[in-house]
Amino acid sequence: MTSEVIAPPTAGAGFPNLAVLPPRVRVIMLVTAQWLSHSINVLAEIGVADHLVDGPRTVAEIATATETDPDALYRVLRAAASLGVFAERPDGRFELTPDADCLRSDTPGSLRNFARHVGHACRLQSYASMVDTVRTGDQAFRKVHGMQSFDFYAAHPHLAEVFNGAMTAFSEAAADELSGLGDFGRFGVIADIGGGHGHMLSAVLRAHSGVKGILFDRPEVLAGADPVLERNGVQDRVTRTPGDFFADVPVADAYVLKSVLHDWTDDECVTILGNIRRRIGDNADARVILFEATVPELNTFDFSKLMDIEMLVNLGGRERTEAEWRALFHRSGFELATTTRATPPNWVLEAKPR
């Protein structure tokens, strides 16, 4: 490396403003961004933030608590702290920052499990084969591991626990906002398809006391739902229904799917939506409500365009434009009725039977 790579103007001020850097330096920063993400993922994996809740600690103390090498740990912490994730004090101790707080296990909407999930070797191995995906269109994860991601998690419960924890944290953080963007009170029964532990469904039911819910997911996922439903006081209004949405779904007046369809190909989505359409039958008032990203056209930056790379490499699904969502609904017997922008990258997409 050369002195071309300039530091942020203020230590710990955050990632440099790429727009003001020369093109060559900007590309260097982008190419080497994995050095930073790997560092943060490792600090999340070993739980550093949890060990700083009670105040600053020396590297030696953190290393003892995390069973790590003090020198190696210091170098990783120093890199993260230079961008505001943790902070190094003049006395050599490290402390939490607002960004580092996001990596605490006990923070609402914690990103610790997400960082652990993204940084796990099984996913990084897929990215090492990404060039083959670009050449062939075949999913790298399946090529590297010999199976789809969700089958891999089923075979490795400890990884499934991390993944489910990451997805639960996202649902928990977004549930109140998203549940307030739909007119759910008009439905008698709402089925949350692939609803995980029920954070989204709980938020909807809390806001609409006359509505009942169905939480539909794989049996091993539903096993963790009771504490969430009980904490939200909706356990008596929710039917837990294990199943496979590729085979069938329960009967309901409305179907909610949060960040589900982006995991799957168009043909697989048509199967899922087709099962819902079959269950709806001639109920013209039934609705499908998606909480998904919608990719903007041309060169506009949107996080959904980066999420789409993860779908391409590790899951085989895709993020979709509004036109692609319309086409997908049409193939499945629905018509896209309304779209509502939520906190990026989320949108609320409501479809009706046609």
* CA atoms of 183 and 338, how far apart (whole Å): 12
262 is an active site residue: yes
- Cβ atoms of 174 and 343 within 8 Å: the answer is yes
* CA atoms of 352 and 335, how far apart (whole Å): 5
> DSSP string of 319-337?
-B-HHHHHHHHHHTTEEEE
Q: Which of 276, 164, 142 is nearest to 220 (CA)?
A: 164
- Cβ atoms of 277 and 322 within 8 Å: the answer is no
Per-residue tokens: 59? 């590297």
Q: Which of 286, 277, 280, 290 is nearest to 339 (CA)?
A: 290
Q: Which of 117, 156, 262, 330 is catalytic?
A: 262
**3-state SS string over 245-258?**
CCCCCCCCCEEEEE
- Cβ atoms of 351 and 322 within 8 Å: the answer is no
* CA atoms of 230 and 224, how far apart (whole Å): 11
> DSSP string of 238-300?
EEEEE--TTT-----SEEEEES-GGGS-HHHHHHHHHHHHHHHTT-TT-EEEEEEEBPPSTT-
Burial (Cβ within 10 Å: 0-12, 13-18, ≥19) of residue 260: buried
Residues catalogued as catalytic: 262
